[in-house]
Protein backbone atom coordinates (compact mmCIF):
# COMPACT_ATOMS: atom_id res chain seq x y z
CA UNK A 1 0.00 0.00 0.00
CA UNK A 2 2.84 2.37 -0.73
CA UNK A 3 0.48 4.71 -2.57
CA UNK A 4 -2.24 4.90 0.12
CA UNK A 5 -3.33 8.33 1.37
CA UNK A 6 -1.84 7.67 4.81
CA UNK A 7 1.48 6.62 3.26
CA UNK A 8 1.50 9.82 1.17
CA UNK A 9 0.64 11.88 4.27
CA UNK A 10 3.42 10.18 6.23
CA UNK A 11 5.93 11.10 3.50
CA UNK A 12 4.76 14.74 3.46
CA UNK A 13 4.91 14.95 7.27
CA UNK A 14 8.43 13.50 7.31
CA UNK A 15 9.62 15.92 4.61
CA UNK A 16 7.99 18.87 6.42
CA UNK A 17 9.78 18.00 9.67
CA UNK A 18 13.11 17.18 8.03
CA UNK A 19 13.20 20.49 6.13
CA UNK A 20 11.88 22.98 8.72
CA UNK A 21 8.47 23.24 7.11
CA UNK A 22 9.49 23.09 3.44
CA UNK A 23 7.96 20.41 1.22
CA UNK A 24 9.13 20.25 -2.40
CA UNK A 25 5.66 20.12 -3.94
CA UNK A 26 4.13 22.73 -1.61
CA UNK A 27 6.94 25.03 -0.54
CA UNK A 28 6.30 26.49 2.90
CA UNK A 29 2.52 26.56 2.53
CA UNK A 30 1.55 23.60 4.69
CA UNK A 31 0.70 23.15 8.33
CA UNK A 32 0.53 19.86 10.18
CA UNK A 33 -2.77 19.65 12.05
CA UNK A 34 -2.70 17.65 15.29
CA UNK A 35 -6.34 16.63 15.76
CA UNK A 36 -8.13 14.29 18.13
CA UNK A 37 -10.32 11.56 16.66
CA UNK A 38 -14.00 12.39 17.16
CA UNK A 39 -14.81 8.75 17.97
CA UNK A 40 -11.46 7.21 18.89
CA UNK A 41 -9.96 10.02 20.95
CA UNK A 42 -6.62 9.19 19.32
CA UNK A 43 -4.38 12.07 18.26
CA UNK A 44 -3.61 12.12 14.56
CA UNK A 45 -1.57 14.40 12.32
CA UNK A 46 -2.63 15.58 8.86
CA UNK A 47 -0.86 17.95 6.46
CA UNK A 48 -3.02 20.70 4.99
CA UNK A 49 -2.46 23.67 2.68
CA UNK A 50 -2.74 26.79 4.80
CA UNK A 51 -3.07 30.46 4.05
CA UNK A 52 -1.86 32.84 6.71
CA UNK A 53 -4.88 35.01 7.48
CA UNK A 54 -3.15 37.31 9.96
CA UNK A 55 -0.32 36.92 12.52
CA UNK A 56 -2.54 34.78 14.76
CA UNK A 57 -4.66 32.74 12.33
CA UNK A 58 -4.45 30.33 9.41
CA UNK A 59 -7.10 29.27 6.90
CA UNK A 60 -7.39 25.61 5.89
CA UNK A 61 -9.75 24.11 3.31
CA UNK A 62 -11.21 20.63 3.78
CA UNK A 63 -10.84 19.90 0.07
CA UNK A 64 -9.68 16.25 0.21
CA UNK A 65 -8.65 16.58 -3.43
CA UNK A 66 -12.26 17.06 -4.52
CA UNK A 67 -13.47 13.79 -3.00
CA UNK A 68 -17.22 13.46 -2.37
CA UNK A 69 -16.70 13.48 1.42
CA UNK A 70 -14.82 15.70 3.85
CA UNK A 71 -11.47 14.64 5.31
CA UNK A 72 -11.43 13.02 8.76
CA UNK A 73 -9.48 15.94 10.24
CA UNK A 74 -12.41 18.26 9.42
CA UNK A 75 -14.87 16.16 11.45
CA UNK A 76 -12.32 15.78 14.23
CA UNK A 77 -11.75 19.54 14.48
CA UNK A 78 -15.50 20.16 14.68
CA UNK A 79 -15.72 17.66 17.55
CA UNK A 80 -12.51 18.84 19.26
CA UNK A 81 -11.77 22.41 18.09
CA UNK A 82 -8.82 22.98 20.42
CA UNK A 83 -5.86 21.56 18.57
CA UNK A 84 -2.23 22.19 17.63
CA UNK A 85 -0.54 22.92 14.34
CA UNK A 86 3.09 22.75 13.30
CA UNK A 87 3.97 25.69 11.09
CA UNK A 88 7.02 26.53 8.98
CA UNK A 89 7.56 29.86 10.72
CA UNK A 90 5.98 29.72 14.19
CA UNK A 91 6.78 26.19 15.31
CA UNK A 92 4.01 24.39 17.19
CA UNK A 93 1.01 26.61 17.89
CA UNK A 94 -2.08 25.94 20.01
CA UNK A 95 -5.16 26.84 17.94
CA UNK A 96 -8.94 26.87 18.11
CA UNK A 97 -10.73 25.77 14.92
CA UNK A 98 -13.86 27.48 13.68
CA UNK A 99 -15.74 26.73 10.46
CA UNK A 100 -16.45 29.75 8.27
CA UNK A 101 -19.89 30.25 6.73
CA UNK A 102 -21.57 32.44 4.12
CA UNK A 103 -19.65 35.33 2.61
CA UNK A 104 -16.74 34.83 5.02
CA UNK A 105 -16.31 31.22 3.81
CA UNK A 106 -16.71 32.24 0.16
CA UNK A 107 -14.04 34.97 0.45
CA UNK A 108 -11.63 32.56 2.13
CA UNK A 109 -12.31 29.88 -0.52
CA UNK A 110 -11.52 32.40 -3.27
CA UNK A 111 -8.12 32.93 -1.64
CA UNK A 112 -7.40 29.21 -1.98
CA UNK A 113 -8.40 29.18 -5.64
CA UNK A 114 -6.18 32.21 -6.31
CA UNK A 115 -3.27 30.60 -4.46
CA UNK A 116 -3.38 27.31 -6.37
CA UNK A 117 -5.29 26.18 -9.47
CA UNK A 118 -5.65 22.74 -7.91
CA UNK A 119 -8.40 24.07 -5.67
CA UNK A 120 -10.43 25.07 -8.73
CA UNK A 121 -10.10 21.47 -9.94
CA UNK A 122 -11.20 20.13 -6.53
CA UNK A 123 -14.29 22.33 -6.65
CA UNK A 124 -15.20 21.01 -10.12
CA UNK A 125 -14.72 17.38 -9.03
CA UNK A 126 -17.23 17.46 -6.17
CA UNK A 127 -20.83 18.45 -5.55
CA UNK A 128 -20.20 19.37 -1.90
CA UNK A 129 -19.36 22.86 -0.71
CA UNK A 130 -15.76 22.58 0.43
CA UNK A 131 -15.54 23.76 4.04
CA UNK A 132 -13.00 26.36 5.10
CA UNK A 133 -11.88 26.67 8.69
CA UNK A 134 -9.92 29.34 10.48
CA UNK A 135 -7.37 28.15 13.02
CA UNK A 136 -6.89 30.92 15.60
CA UNK A 137 -3.94 30.99 17.98
CA UNK A 138 -4.87 30.14 21.55
CA UNK A 139 -2.91 31.90 24.25
CA UNK A 140 -2.41 29.23 26.88
Instruction: Give the chain's domain count.
Output: 1
Q: What confidence tens digit (pLDDT) does each residue in 59-104 have?
A: 999 999 999 999 999 999 999 999 999 999 999 999 999 999 999 9
Q: What is the pLDDT of residue 139?
A: 87
Backbone phi, psi, residue 4, to 5°: -70, 155
Domain enclosing residue 15, as ranges: 5-137
Q: Which DSSP string do the residues of 117-136 spell out, in sequence order?
A: HHHHHHHHH-SSPPPEEEEE
Q: What confidence tens digit (pLDDT) does each residue in 34-71 have?
A: 999 999 999 999 999 999 999 999 999 999 999 999 99
Average pLDDT over residues 107-112: 98
Residues of the chain with pLDDT > 90, as a percent, come to: 91
Q: What confidence tens digit (pLDDT) does each residue in 2-15 have?
A: 456 678 899 999 99
Q: Is the dihedral of CA 6, 10, 16, 22 positive or negative?
A: negative
- Measure the CA–CA gap between 140 and 35, rounded to whole angstroms: 17
Average pLDDT over residues 103-112: 98
- The residues, ordered by sequence, that sit 6+ positions from 64 with a Cβ below 8 Å of its Cβ are 70, 71, 122
Cα maximum dimension of the chain:
41
Q: What is the pLDDT of residue 1?
A: 40
CATH number at residue 26: 2.30.110.10
Amino acid sequence: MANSPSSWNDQVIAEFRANNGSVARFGRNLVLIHHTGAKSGVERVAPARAIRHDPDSWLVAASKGGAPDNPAWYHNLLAHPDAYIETPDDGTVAVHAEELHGAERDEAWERFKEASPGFRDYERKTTRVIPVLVLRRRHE
